[in-house]
Amino acid sequence: MSQRELTRLEVIQRVKRKTLKQGQAAELLSLSVRQVKRLCKAYQGSGAAGLISKRRGQPSNNRLPEKTINKAQQLLRSRYHDFGPTLATEKLAIEGVSLSVETVRQLLIGEGLWKAKVVRRAVIHQLRERRARCGELVQIDGSPHDWFEGRAPKCTLLVFVDDATSRLMYLQFVAAETTFNYFAGVRSYLTEFGKPLASTATSLVFSE
């Protein structure tokens, strides 16, 4: 017996012993009282065997005809072996075999003609906490754009942003994002805010 059938047996036995009412049994089994009465009658007539599903071992009512499956498999192997599930489903429909995309996908996998794609789990990167005080870390970036809307040549805006407060510490328009222009911007920044403790490609870390 399946776990579900064992549970039914235990509940119906309690009903027969009169330690459980039929309404309570119906609630426990998610059935109607009428169905519980039918189960009690089946148990009284055939014992535990009366609670076993009569459809066990029989094919599902929704099972596709074997002839349809065989035809689909033959067509997939001979004509559509290099097709994906969606396109193969459309081609089979033209051939007179109407199946769902999921059924065709399972048939392709079963025939070794299609490999299920592995869904990659998204990598979640932990956000870095901002620095506690203004001036400890400054993010530097350059943004090329038509800043003057055609009234002047396109240029790049160098921006120094404080990590703790998001305050714009230094901005300058330059012709291009070059090493020389970055050095010139850093020099102006150091003149006003002091010597950095450390530096990276896109940020400056300052001592207290």
Report pLDDT digits (tens) over 65-98. 888 888 999 999 899 888 889 999 999 999 888 8
Residue 8 has pLDDT above 50, yes or no: yes
Structure tokens at 177: 């994002």
Out of 18-27, 46-55, 80-89, pick the least confident.
Answer: 46-55
Beginning with the edge strand found earlier in the chain, give each strand of the sheet holding 155-162 in spatial order: 168-174, 155-162, 137-145, 203-206, 196-199
Residue 55 has pLDDT above 90, yes or no: no
Q: Give 98-122 pLDDT, tens digit per residue.
A: 888 888 888 888 888 887 666 667 6
- Tell me how many degrees the CA angle 159-163-168 measures, rounded to the nearest 5: 35
Phi, psi (deg, nearest 5) at residue 116: -65, 135
pLDDT at 130: 79
Mean of pLDDT over the chain = 81
